[in-house]
Amino acid sequence: MKVSTGDGFWKSLCMPIGRSLYTFVISFCLIFLLSHCVVSNDALGTQDKTEPSIDDLLSLAKVSSSCGGGNTFWIRNLIKNSSSCVQTTKVASGSHVNIYATSGLESVLDYQYISQEFDSKIYPRLGEAFGFSDDLDGDGKVAVIVSDIHDGSTTGSSFVAGFFDPVDYFPDSSGYAVRSNYSNIVYMDGVELVTVRNSDLSQGKPDTFLATLAHEYQHLIRFQYEARIMSQGGGRDEAWINEGTSEVAADIAGYSPQINRINCYRGRNSNACSRGANGNSIFGSSKFNSLVDYAFAYSFMKYLYMISGSDTDSRNSYFRTGVQGPKGYRASDATGLFHLFKTSADNYINSSQDVKDAVGTDGSAIFMKIYPAFLWQSLGDVSPEFAQSGTDTSGASGFLQDITKTIQSFPFPAAGTDGDVLRKLYDPLRIPEITPLGELNPGQIQFVKADRSNSSAIGRLVLLKKNIDGNLYSLQINTEMKRSGDISVSLGITENDDEGGEEAIVLPESTDSRPICPHEFFKLSRNRTKQKIFSEYKGL
């Protein structure tokens, strides 16, 4: 994934299909596998009608890469959306990681140091927060491949700092332009990212390379649980949750804060982040491909992480439950995320009844209070003077009390404590005001220096107001929990002869080097849909 300084392509970095696990395997054999599926009916135990577990399937598919061995790997070209077999050199090895570099990049980093950091920080800390990745190839290690990621970036523009390719989760197929190494791999950029990393370190900022590596590793861990849901006909986790969590994962690993994300949220500059989060949605743009999308997702997910528990163990439990879903719910969308907040967050569970009455007792009600509480605090204030939900003017006083109680119960971390970077969302300057908008989409906000009203508004439009320095300011928030626009539900496979051909990644607009993650890029080609896969399966 090519990353912009501190922001991270993290935005896109990152990120099966049947009615049973058997269907799941056959379907993905069709998509990703060899022209001939490597998992036979006998191996699957179909003769005695015994259906294998996902772990059985993974163990059956422990096959060597078709790329040729000898430290060669399939590496995806993000411009052509196709793979090439590339020779690498193993430059470091640790207890939980092997690091490989392509020609010319063998000495650009202290790879043994990177290996030690992965073993001592990234692997154990993210293991506590999310779990550990499936051991696809059976070697017990994560592979990190450092190359010049081909993404079409130009000097001074945003770039892919690193990525996890979902295709590597499945056996290889020679029938597709994108190939699989069937291994736990994180791909890292060794050119632009290294330049940004060196610059950041010289300014006393966290190590951007390691932060990106942690970001991508969260995607790798999470996908095994997404794949199990997809094998039952479900879809991918929503990008704002996946990307926001990966951004926080870098903090959890010890490479915090993601200050470029914070600065982008706050805005007030001349680039793509000029107005910051104002006028945008927490759920991101339709394709989740702007720098603000990442900044917004990081800031809010950082807040949720900090208020979800009173210590690291309880906070990690909230994130881990959201990724793995042991209680029957996963944080795949806002509904699941806030249902788990109610059931997992010890600050909520241990709070008094009046706090629960104020915040709400179901995920939808909790989001309607927590989201505005975060936004109002991000403006540098804790006491709105007016609050209203929908067109309910008679209940405005009670709603104001609820919002105020929510802010008091879930404040930003105090200065000098873990998570106090959230205070930089308004210090030294908060987001700039914008010209009032018309109708707001789900999750969208507007902060304006004007008197706004909720007349003829949707029921979940929240309005907060206050006189500040002699001027009346209004914050309107659409607290509907529906993500609009494209949602990643596929894995970025393009058939060699597929109509429509190859589709290049689209980098977000930027006037400086911004690392990003291409998670949303990993989709099937236009003609390769779940329905088509199902019909192919039925035709077997």
The pair of three-digit structure tokens given for residue 232, joined into one six-digit string = 């039952």
Mean of the pLDDT values across residues 383-402?
Answer: 96
The Cα–Cα gap between 187 and 251 comes to: 20
Give the domain ranges of the chain: 3-236+488-538, 322-478
* List of residues 6+ apart from 330 with CB closer than 8 A: 225, 229, 237, 322, 323, 324, 336
On the question of pLDDT at 524 being above 90, the answer is no
Phi, psi of 91 (to 5 degrees): -105, -10
pLDDT tier at 133, thresholds 50, 70, 90: very high
Answer yes or no: are the C-beta atoms of 442 and 481 closer than 8 Å. yes
Token pair 């210590």 is found at: 311
pLDDT tier at 270, thresholds 50, 70, 90: low
Q: What is the pLDDT of residue 292?
A: 94
Q: What is the pLDDT of residue 94?
A: 98
Mean of the pLDDT values across residues 180-187?
Answer: 95
List, as one string, the DSSP characters of 233-281. Answer: T--PPPHHHHHHHHHHHHHHHT----HHHHHHHH--SSSTTTTTTTT-B
Token pair 């690993």 is found at: 253
Q: What is the pLDDT of residue 465?
A: 98
Q: What is the pLDDT of residue 512?
A: 60
From 9-23, 48-62, 174-188, 275-289, the region with the lowest mean pLDDT: 9-23
If 0-12 CB within 10 Å is exposed, 13-18 middle and 19+ buried, where does residue 346 land? middle
Mean of the pLDDT values across residues 397-424?
Answer: 97
The Cα–Cα gap between 161 and 291 comes to: 13
Taking only the tens place, the pLDDT of each residue in 54-76 is: 454 444 444 445 787 899 999 99
Taking only the tens place, the pLDDT of each residue in 104-125 is: 999 999 999 999 999 999 999 9
Q: What is the pLDDT of residue 413?
A: 97
Per the model's pLDDT, the better-predicted residue between 172 and 491 turns out to be 172
From 98-112, 276-290, 425-439, the region with the lowest mean pLDDT: 276-290
Taking only the tens place, the pLDDT of each residue in 453-487 is: 998 778 899 999 999 999 999 999 999 998 765 54
pLDDT tier at 28, thresholds 50, 70, 90: very low
The mean predicted confidence, pLDDT, of the chain is 81
Taking only the tens place, the pLDDT of each residue in 193-207 is: 999 999 999 999 999
Mean of the pLDDT values across residues 434-460?
Answer: 93
Q: What is the pLDDT of residue 151?
A: 86
Q: What is the pLDDT of residue 288?
A: 83
Mean of the pLDDT values across residues 516-537?
Answer: 44
Q: Is the pTM of this model over 0.85?
A: no
Mean of the pLDDT values across residues 381-391?
Answer: 97
Answer yes or no: are the C-beta atoms of 461 and 453 closer than 8 Å. no
Sheet of 445-448, strand order: 386-389, 461-468, 471-478, 445-448
Neighbours of 334 (CB within 10 A): 24
On the question of pLDDT at 276 being above 70, the answer is yes
Nearest in space to 303 (alpha carbons), one of 227, 233, 245? 245
Q: What is the pLDDT of residue 457?
A: 79
Mean of the pLDDT values across residues 500-510?
Answer: 59
Taking only the tens place, the pLDDT of each residue in 234-249 is: 788 999 999 999 999 9
On the question of pLDDT at 132 being above 80, the answer is yes
Answer yes or no: are the C-beta atoms of 243 and 294 closer than 8 Å. yes
Q: What is the pLDDT of residue 504?
A: 65
Per the model's pLDDT, the better-predicted residue between 153 and 418 turns out to be 418
Q: What is the pLDDT of residue 514?
A: 58
The Cα–Cα gap between 196 and 153 comes to: 14
On the question of pLDDT at 520 being above 80, the answer is no
pLDDT above 90: percentage of residues in the chain? 61
pLDDT tier at 18, thresholds 50, 70, 90: very low
Distance of CA 484 to the CA centre of its chain: 16
